[in-house]
Structure 1
Amino acid sequence: MEAAWREGNDGVADFMLQKITGMMVGFWTFQELTECTDNDQRLPLLLPRDRESLASKLLEIGKAVLKSAHQTEPGAARGKYQTAVKWIQKAFAVIEQSEDVGAAPTLGNLKRSILRCLARAYFMSSSVEPGNLDRAEASLNELIDTIDSAADRKSPEHQQLRWMRVAVLKRRKAAESQLLDAFQSIIDHMDFSEECVTEVLQELRTLTQYHILVTSVHRHALQKALEAENDNHGRAMQNIETAFACFNQAEYELPKIQTTACLTLLWQFGNRHYNAKRWTEAAGWFLCGTNQVLASMARASHAKCFRKAALCYIQHGDFAAASAVLRRCPGNEATTYYVVLLTAVRQGLQDPAIKAVRDMVKAPDFDRKMLLLATQLANESDMKPLLLSVLEALLETLANQETHEIHTEAITLIRCIVRLVVKLMGEPGANSSILVPTLIGHLNTAKTLIESFHATKRSTIIAKDVSWLWRTAYNCAVQGCAEWENSEEAVSDLFDIARNLLEVFCASALTDVDPELYVYLTNASFAAVSGKVFALRRRLTHTTAESSVLADISEDIATCTKRIQKVLDGNKLSIEDVDRARSFIHLLRVFDTEVSCLMKDWKHLLESIQQVVQSDPGGMDTFEAIADILWAEKDCPVEVLFAALEAILHASLDRMSLSVEKFARWLRAISTILLARNSTSDRTKAVGYVEQAVAVLEEHSQNLQQEMENVYPMDERQWLLGTSYNTGIECL
């Protein structure tokens, strides 16, 4: 049955349904529904759970058809409404035959659901089948009779059914007595809140032609209000509304003095209920202060009344009511946004709370003390993103103030913010793409403030802050190296910040600086430049680098080299640390060569090569790396390549630290360039290099057991032989 229905085979689905239920397909009145079960001989044999399953399936199909009919054009909806009614009728027939309906809660709930949908289907199809209005009323009457004795008879869901009955009666133009019974049923089961009473009054406005009915409903509502548990409060609210209604009908507005007196009384009563923790009653008194009769003081009082009422609903736990009241608050006031913040925090809603903080800061009447309260609120509720937003807003309030005390407070705030960001970064699922830039931004702000302290020679008063900040930036950068993907630039920024702060800390120290700090200084400086070079390499795989970017990196490399060399010249490192720092300088020269090739700055490259040649003897790896870079660079001029190879080769021979294979390759390249020039001096120079090669060949050919890396390559030997012989013939 279900498969046929899903495929659109309604005839097959109906046939299968007949096989299941043994019923004739047709359309029944409500009375016929209860009589048709006598013809059924199969259903009583089913177990209750099977009947419940069958009825649920029929109801599901009926509801789907009803929804489809509601979304169809009116002309095509008639047949679908009839089909929906048919399926839901059959569901009711199946469940009605169960003797366990009263005893089994699930069957009882299912029956009510079927009746509710059946009534809705009848009501929606009444436009094409007027007779269905009577059937809808009958279904609703039976359903309401069952829920009036239920424990949750006042639930909003049940109230909707009573309102549906009113809609049915209105559409079929029922007698006033029937409408009165329907309204009385609603009033008997409703809470006398402002919202519920307003709903009844608005509905009565559509029935102004029934004067007796409207009067009777008002009288019944008043009587029930007086009989409510809070009799005095209900009567007071009614009296106030009646008095205000008289003024409104007369279009009279109270003057300011009288309005102030009324508002004072309303607030007194509201505060009494508030202090007694009668939240809804207190809210009612505060909301009375927003009546149009008191409009002469609206600008000063209405927002205050709405906020106080919202606080009452927050205490009561009715956050929907609190939000509704706050939406009625006039103007753009910071206090209102604070109450909105409180509502969001009580519900655990991070994003609305953060938005409320931002709106509050932008309000004209914003007071910084509100952020201090918001900080405490966010901290108590353990909402770290909200706390971060509040602290950032608090920091922004100090941005335009230039006193030293404010700067000190700002640095303290930044420490709190940085510590919080680091905690958020350590949580599972943290969004590093947002948190890392946030961390860098606040550390940069701290760096700017600290540099201003240092410029005025007052950095000693914040020495502890500087120490904490540079260590935090350094540790985060180290963590980023291990955990963050494609974040070379961010890591470089953090190392740069750590290096800047560390320099200020060392420069302002009153005692001797711990040598270990200079180790961190060289590490941070070198790591920052390395990250920028790595980021450049990754960028070059997708696009070309701008000349300004290359120039900046080249300058950074030069500055870093000078900085590390200055530390070396100051003899502030241990022997082990000196070796590491020198290795940094060698690598920086390799980076410089790489960037110079990208910039096509061959003049600077030649100068750099001379510096490499004159450097300490520990840079053979540097020589080889530079030579490899130039050899692979297609645009490198021959004279630059020659000068580099020649200088590096001489330096290698002087230090006796170059492998024989590397020597052979580079000597071949130098000799080839010299012979290509074909001048007398170049040929003479080439002969000298060949003689040097022969000397190396003789030296390393004596021991046949040498490792392969120290054996002169065979192809190079053949090249030496052939080139020497051919060049000699040419010269001859």
Structure 2
Amino acid sequence: MSAKKRKIQAIQHIIQPIQDILIDIKPKLTEAKRSAWPSLIPDLNKLAALAESITQQCPRSNKDWMVWLRRSIEANAGVNLWNASGPIKDGTDGVSREVVAASLIHVLQLASKAGASLSDVGRHDVAASILACAAKYEEQLRTADDDQNQHQLARVQAVTLYLSCRMEAAWREGNEGVAEFMLQKIIENDQRLRLLPTRDCESLASKLLEIGKDTLKGAQGTSDKTKFQDAIKWTQKAFAVVEYCENTGETSLGDLKRSILRSLARAYYLSSSHDPDNLDKAEASLNELIDTIDSAADRGSPEHQQLRWMRVAVLKKRHAAESQLLEAFKSIIDHMSFCDSTVTETLTKYHVLVTSIHQYTLQNALDAESGPGLPYVDRILLSLLFHCSKDDNHGRAMQDVEAAFASLENAEYELPKIPTTACLTLLWQFGDRHYSAKRWGQAADWFICGTHKVLASMARASHAKCLRKAALSHIQGGEYATASTVLRRCPGDEAVTHYLMMLAAVHQGLEDEAIRAVKTMVKAPDFDRKMLLLATQLANETDMKKLLLSVLEALLETLDIQQDEIHTEAITLIRCIIRLVVKLIDEAPANRPVLVPILIGHFSTAKSLIERFHTAKRSTIVAKDISWLWRTAYNCAVQGCAEWENAEAAVSDLFDIAQNLLEVYCTSALTDVDAELLVYLTNATFAAVSGRVFALRRRLSVTAETPEPGYLTSIVTNVASCKVRIQRVLKENRLSAAADIERVQSFVHALRVFEVEVLCLMHEWTRVSTVIEDAVHSDPPPTSTLEAIADILWIEKGCPTEVLFTALEGILHACLDRMALSVEKFSRWLRALCTVLLARNTSSDRAKAIGYIEQAVAVLEDHSMDDQDNLNVYPMDERQWLLGTSYNTGIECLHASALEEAKRWFETSTVICRFVPEGTSRAAKISETYTHLLNRYSSRGLDTT
């Protein structure tokens, strides 16, 4: 059976007798049975005792069934009883008044307890209503006659109970004025208090004590002096009640008195900040209390020990003499049970006392007017530091050290170097001890103490060291932001500081900040390359690629590459850096404009180192590195062609590097070079030049300004050099595959076009003619190349006629030899060429022109179909031009008396008439005109043979 069920059954056993008594009392209250009234008093007393037992067995709580039970038994039973006794309230004989008085007493007690219980569970409104009714009963009881004092004790108990319950309910409701008024009514009658039994005195004093405790609790943490005074007042009243009623030696009352004295001493102690005199009262209260417990059987209990510790605290706060403190500690030790906790607590309290002695002695040494204590300041300080290091309460130890340093600082006292060094040594020892024990925060605090202003005489040598030790402690403890804050206080010219900054930044994920720390670290005078090796490992473990790149670059920069034996290490580093940069470019395309120049820079450095090896004839020892480098540069350039926008210059640089490294690799090879490598070599060489030409074209498309001569000269030089390299490969017959040979030959033709394009911008027409002659006499004649050159020259306004003529003539010869040119373009170039020849108007030029036109007639015969679907038909406008030019030139030859030449022109025009609309009629007209003009010139005596 549960405890709750057992308690309910016990209460039910009490309720049943109450019901039986009520059933027995009610009939006796009738007028007809007045003789039975004297017997009611014992029954009423028994009824009150049973109700009291119920209130004692029902603990005060918020349970609804408890509230209902108290209200039913205490309030309803009492009121019903009072209502039932109505017939005898007006009785005039002594028996009636006696019964009325007894009823009033019991009803007042029940109403008071009911109101107190309801107030206890927070039902203040109902409690106030019941207590207001109880006030009427109290007034009737106070005015009731009791000449023989038969109910004096019961009356005192009932009134005191009512007043105390009313006081307690008003206090809980927050009505302090009413509570104090009820208190005053209780204590103003000394005679009433002296009549109270011990149990009632104890109950009243307990209520006053609880109110005092609540008031003191509310006063803590505030600066309201009156709150402390109220707490003291209530507690003093509780003690006064005990003093009035102290006529028995019951243990319960003695325990209550000790509790009151303990609370009173605590109230005095806490209020001493506002009223220093209360410290003496607190000490007096504790002394009185301790005197009563030193002879008790449980005098060594923890509760009694706390009182003795409280006395030590009071003595310390009022700066009592050492002898008094020692006596107080002796009392503690005398009653101490030796165990780990009690010994530790006692030593800790002793520690506080010793610390105070140190602080006081130090302050006196600094305050002495004649300065006799100054020579001993360092000794006192060292003793204090050593003593503080033994304190188990780290926060208190730091406060004590700070207070000691503050005393020196306030006295404007600066420790000399030797004592300062001694203090720093101690502080570092304490910090190292905590560091070894992995108490990181405490270690950092001890190290930070070494940066105080009073130790300024050694600040230059120790300040940064203390801060770094503290920062390292914070890093070990995972307080990375705190470590960064500490490190920012360090001077900025020490590599170790920046290494720790990098370490803290890495753990916080601040990669850019870590990179800045590395760059600053390598510039410090005390820099050690081992730091970079550790940073490399850290960056690799945390997968911070940008930081790893920065560290590897710093490692490369710190190498003495003037020494031959370090070259291989430098090349290895460069390979790592290049691999990392390529990975970064793939992962973060947005950073490509920044990363690509870095990539090219490291390739260039590698190329320079490789060339040194090649010059020293030691390139074979790094042959694998050369192979890896040229292939990586080549692949990066190919990727750039496909993916990088507006990066022609960067791609060209990469191809150039690949070509240079590949040349070194081929030259230093101990065996025959594979033809495939020559293909890559020509590809890289051509692609590098092409990229620069494409970059020039894009630049011209953006701005109309002609680039500076030096820029154009460098491009022309590269084109010419590339052409020479590729032609050399062709002449050496080192390529075996026909497809490779054809592709390399196409490179040469394209390079001629590039060369003409740039030379035109430079107006180097003589060199343009040389390139054209070179193209014309190449085997086989490059029709597409000559066509591209002609296109360039045709739109170039400043191109001399002779240069354009040479190009046109070359392209026509190539076309006629291979018939590889489109008929439409052939007609345009032929027209331009004949226009130039006829403009010169010499017999040889005209003869060359008629020869080209006759070639055009031959082309017309092969491509004269007037079919819209046939795109290779000779254009009609060009046919008309051929016809008109031939006819007009023939007439001009007749006028010049060159009859044979004129005949040739007229015959050609007659043939062309077959390929133009209305050709027959036009041929007839031409024949007629030719005959007429011939006859006219014959009549003049011209030779027509």
> TM class, shorter-chain normalised?
0.5 to 0.7
How many angstroms does 1:688 deviate by? 2.0
How many angstroms does 1:320 deviate by? 3.0
Partner residue of 2:724 out of 562, 575, 584: 562
1:338 aligns with 2:521: no
Q: What amino acid is aligned across from residue 329 of structure 1 in structure 2? A: C
Partner residue of 1:366 out of 491, 505, 527: 527
CA–CA distance in 2 between the matches of 1:627 and 1:555? 22
CA contact (8 A) 1:597 1:633 kept: yes
Residue in 2 aligned with 1:713? 875
Residue in 2 aligned with 1:501? 661
How many angstroms does 1:449 deviate by? 1.3
How many angstroms does 1:612 deviate by? 0.4
Name the CA shift for 1:328/1:713 in 2 (closer, same or farther; >3 Å). closer
Residue in 1 aligned with 2:645? 485
Greater relative contact order (CA < 8 Å, ≥ 6 in sequence):
1
How many angstroms does 1:700 deviate by? 4.8
Partner residue of 1:606 out of 759, 769, 790: 769
Residue in 2 aligned with 1:386? 547
Percent identity, aligned pairs only? 68
How many angstroms does 1:572 deviate by? 1.6
CA–CA distance in 2 between the matches of 1:711 and 1:234? 103
CA contact (8 A) 2:487 2:501 kept: yes
How many angstroms does 1:248 deviate by? 3.2
Residue in 2 aligned with 1:688? 851
Cα deviations across residues 560-619 of structure 1 (Å, max 9, x unaligned)?
111111111122212211111001111111111111111111101100000001112262
Name the CA shift for 1:719/1:249 in 2 (closer, same or farther; >3 Å). closer
Residue in 2 aligned with 1:666? 829
Residue in 1 aligned with 2:59? none
How many angstroms does 1:250 deviate by? 4.2
1:355 aligns with 2:355: no
CA–CA distance in 2 between the matches of 1:219 and 1:386? 58
Name the CA shift for 1:249/1:664 in 2 (closer, same or farther; >3 Å). closer
Three-state SS of the structure 2 residue aligned to 1:634 is coil
Cα deviations across residues 331-366 of structure 1 (Å, max 9, x unaligned)?
521111111111101111111111111111122222
Residue in 1 aligned with 2:364? none
CA contact (8 A) 1:226 1:234 kept: no
CA contact (8 A) 1:424 1:430 kept: no
CA–CA distance in 2 between the matches of 1:263 and 1:696? 106
Q: What amino acid is aligned across from residue 770 of structure 2 in structure 1? A: E
Residue in 2 aligned with 1:288? 449
Three-state SS of the structure 2 residue aligned to 1:231 is coil
CA–CA distance in 2 between the matches of 1:683 and 1:358? 77
CA–CA distance in 2 between the matches of 1:687 and 1:304? 99
TM-score, with length taken from structure 1: 0.67
CA RMSD of aligned residues (A): 3.2
- Map of 1:542-691 to 2, 5 A cutoff? 542-543=702-703, 544=705, 545-573=707-735, 574-617=737-780, 619-691=782-854
How many angstroms does 1:255 deviate by? 3.5
Three-state SS of the structure 1 residue aligned to 2:587 is coil
Partner residue of 1:725 out of 882, 887, 901: 887
- Map of 1:377-416 to 2, 5 A cutoff? 377-398=538-559, 401-416=561-576
- Map of 1:53-132 to 2, 5 A cutoff? none
Three-state SS of the structure 2 residue aligned to 1:541 is helix
Q: What amino acid is aligned across from residue 575 of structure 1 in structure 2? A: A
CA contact (8 A) 1:333 1:364 kept: yes
Name the CA shift for 1:666/1:430 in 2 (closer, same or farther; >3 Å). closer
CA contact (8 A) 2:867 2:873 kept: no
Name the CA shift for 1:364/1:603 in 2 (closer, same or farther; >3 Å). same
Report which of the two structures shows the higher radius of gyration computed on alpha carbons. Answer: 2
323-332 or 435-444, larger mean C-alpha shift: 323-332
Partner residue of 1:697 out of 860, 863, 886: 860
Residue in 1 aligned with 2:92? none
Three-state SS of the structure 2 residue aligned to 1:426 is helix
1:438 aligns with 2:598: yes
CA–CA distance in 2 between the matches of 1:178 and 1:677? 125
CA contact (8 A) 2:501 2:514 kept: yes
Partner residue of 1:476 out of 620, 633, 636: 636
CA contact (8 A) 2:775 2:781 kept: no
Cα deviations across residues 41-83 of structure 1 (Å, max 9, x unaligned)?
xxxxxxxxxxxxxxxxxxxxxxxxxxxxxxxxxxxxxxxxxxx
Name the CA shift for 1:665/1:238 in 2 (closer, same or farther; >3 Å). closer
Name the CA shift for 1:560/1:232 in 2 (closer, same or farther; >3 Å). same
Name the CA shift for 1:366/1:712 in 2 (closer, same or farther; >3 Å). same
How many angstroms does 1:671 deviate by? 0.8
Residue in 2 aligned with 1:45? none
Name the CA shift for 1:688/1:176 in 2 (closer, same or farther; >3 Å). farther
How many angstroms does 1:371 deviate by? 1.1
CA contact (8 A) 1:415 1:469 kept: yes
CA–CA distance in 1 between the matches of 2:575 and 2:461? 40
- Map of 1:210-289 to 2, 5 A cutoff? 231-289=392-450
CA–CA distance in 2 between the matches of 1:226 and 1:494? 75
Count how many residue pairs are aligned between Structure 1 and Structure 2: 528
Residue in 1 aligned with 2:624? 464
Name the CA shift for 1:655/1:704 in 2 (closer, same or farther; >3 Å). same
Residue in 2 aligned with 1:116? none
Residue in 2 aligned with 1:80? none
How many angstroms does 1:401 deviate by? 4.2
CA–CA distance in 2 between the matches of 1:599 and 1:428? 41
Name the CA shift for 1:417/1:645 in 2 (closer, same or farther; >3 Å). same
CA–CA distance in 2 between the matches of 1:241 and 1:233? 12
Cα deviations across residues 280-339 of structure 1 (Å, max 9, x unaligned)?
111111112222333232222111111110111122222232122112223521111111
CA–CA distance in 1 between the matches of 2:775 and 2:411? 98
How many angstroms does 1:472 deviate by? 0.7
CA–CA distance in 1 between the matches of 2:403 and 2:445? 15
CA contact (8 A) 1:617 1:655 kept: no
CA–CA distance in 2 between the matches of 1:655 and 1:463? 47
Three-state SS of the structure 2 residue aligned to 1:485 is coil
Three-state SS of the structure 2 residue aligned to 1:657 is coil
1:298 aligns with 2:481: no
Q: What amino acid is aligned across from residue 718 of structure 2 in structure 1? A: D
Q: What amino acid is aligned across from residue 541 of structure 2 in structure 1? A: E
Q: What amino acid is aligned across from residue 715 of structure 1 in structure 2? A: D
CA–CA distance in 2 between the matches of 1:723 and 1:349? 81
CA contact (8 A) 1:226 1:235 kept: no
CA–CA distance in 2 between the matches of 1:673 and 1:361? 71
Name the CA shift for 1:671/1:429 in 2 (closer, same or farther; >3 Å). closer
Cα deviations across residues 369-388 of structure 1 (Å, max 9, x unaligned)?
21111111111111111111
CA–CA distance in 1 between the matches of 2:492 and 2:739? 68
Three-state SS of the structure 2 residue aligned to 1:365 is coil
Residue in 2 aligned with 1:46? none
CA–CA distance in 2 between the matches of 1:429 and 1:493? 19
Residue in 2 aligned with 1:21? none
How many angstroms does 1:176 deviate by? 7.9
CA contact (8 A) 1:414 1:442 kept: yes
Q: What amino acid is aligned across from residue 681 of structure 1 in structure 2? A: S
CA contact (8 A) 1:649 1:666 kept: yes
CA–CA distance in 2 between the matches of 1:357 and 1:276? 31
Q: What amino acid is aligned across from residue 875 of structure 2 in structure 1? A: P
Cα deviations across residues 466-506 of structure 1 (Å, max 9, x unaligned)?
11111111111111111111111111111111111111111
How many angstroms does 1:690 deviate by? 1.9
